[in-house]
Amino acid sequence: MSLESAVVQPAPASGASGPGRVGGAPRPGRVVLHAVLVVLSLLMVAPFVWMVLTSLKSHAEVMSYPPTILPSVWQWVNYPDALEFAPFGTYFRNSLVIAVGHTVINVVLAAMAGYALARLPFRGRSLLLMLVLAAMMIPTFTKIVPQYLLAKTMPFFGGNDFLGRGGSGWLDSWWALIVPGALTPLAIFLFRQFYLSLPRELEEAARLDGLGEFGIFARVMTPLMKPAIATVALITFENSWNNFVWPLIVTRSEELRVIQVGLAAFQQTERTLWEYLMAGTVLATVPMIVLFLFTQRYFVQGFATAGIK
């Protein structure tokens, strides 16, 4: 064997060949796809960039015509001024308590329900699954009036008698903010799909080792559900954090207002303080961005494997 033939040829550089290239040149279809993705990405990022830039302009510059892209003077003082304009500390605390409460309740109860629908054979399981799927198709706003009436007529709360009459029930209380909507059918369905994807041998081995059904659920199966837990937790936290209509309807006290309702304080009858509104919106967006960055890997994996079975 000659020395030349024995020399190991270097591997082609990454991207020099592959499904996206023909004869060293990228395929036209892939180029078009990348161009479309770049345009769509810019369109999706543009509102957020506009929000941040507007939060750093003066009120006169925000209302000027033609509009400017970059602030002529960067008004960083808008952020502390926005925090002083309304009790955002209270709003932020209330939103955080409600979002965390919804997330914990939804993850725990939906995981139990999903495990039961996926692993436990019992009469009526298929019917219950159909009811869960049907509940997912009910529009959110059609449930507001029934939920409001249930909260108002809750017996033994807010001065109500045992028939739910005479008082305000759960209205203007933490009960009305946390309990309704804490458990979602989407979370139950996602957990069921994940539990179905786990091998049955794990369950059988744990049962042979003497574990009961709750031990199999809590110690064997659920620790393997990190993508599902992250997906449900992120969706629940986002929906709860951004909820505006329900907290606005069931609360009257300033101490129970949430941050999305508090942002409405900048929209006055005479004018809208856009610079403060955008500053408050940026601050309200930060927790969601941080949470998504920490759970992004599990979140993407969760949606990618949710439809295995």
Q: What would the pLDDT profile of 27-59 be if each residue is shown by its tens digit?
A: 778 889 999 999 999 999 999 999 999 999 988
Please indicate, yes or no, if residue 220 is contained in any of the structural domains. Answer: yes
Q: Are residues 162 and 56 in the same domain?
A: no
Q: What is the mean pLDDT of the chain?
A: 83
197 & 51 share domain: no
Residues 71 and 87 reside in one and the same domain: no
Residue ranges of the chain whose pLDDT lies below 70: 1-26, 269, 300-309
Same domain, 301 and 171: yes
Q: How far is CA 8 from CA 4, 5, 16, 112, 164, in A?
A: 9, 8, 18, 57, 84
pLDDT at 4: 44
Assigned domain for 101 exists: yes
Which 8-state DSSP code applies to residue 264? G
Last residue of a domain, one of 75, 110, 140: 75
Do 202 and 71 sit in the same domain of this protein? no
Statement to judge: residues 171 and 50 lie in one domain: no
Quote the pLDDT of residue 10.
Answer: 46
Residue ending a domain, among 75, 108, 129, is 75
Nearest one of 191, 188, 184 to 226, comparing CA atoms? 191
What total of structural domains would you count in the chain? 2
Cis peptide bond N-terminal to 67, omega within 30: no
The pLDDT of residue 304? 63
Does residue 110 sit in the same domain as residue 62? no
CATH number of the domain that residue 259 is part of: 1.10.3720.10
Using CB atoms within 10 Å of the CB of residue 72, give its burial: 0 to 12 exposed, 13 to 18 middle, 19+ buried.
exposed
Task: Kindly state whether residue 4 falls inside one of the protein's structural domains.
Answer: no
The pLDDT of residue 307: 52
Same-domain status, 119 and 176 = yes
Helix 226-241 × helix 185-197 angle, to 10°: 170
Q: Check whether residue 42 and residue 94 sit in a common domain.
A: no
Residues 118, 264, single domain; the answer is yes
Q: Is residue 57 one of the residues assigned to a domain?
A: yes
Judgement on whether residues 278 and 255 belong to the same structural domain of the protein: yes
Q: Note the pLDDT of residue 116.
A: 93
Burial of 46 (0-12, 13-18, 19+ CB in 10 A): exposed
Residue-range definition of the domain harbouring residue 61:
31-75
Q: Are residues 104 and 36 in the same domain?
A: no
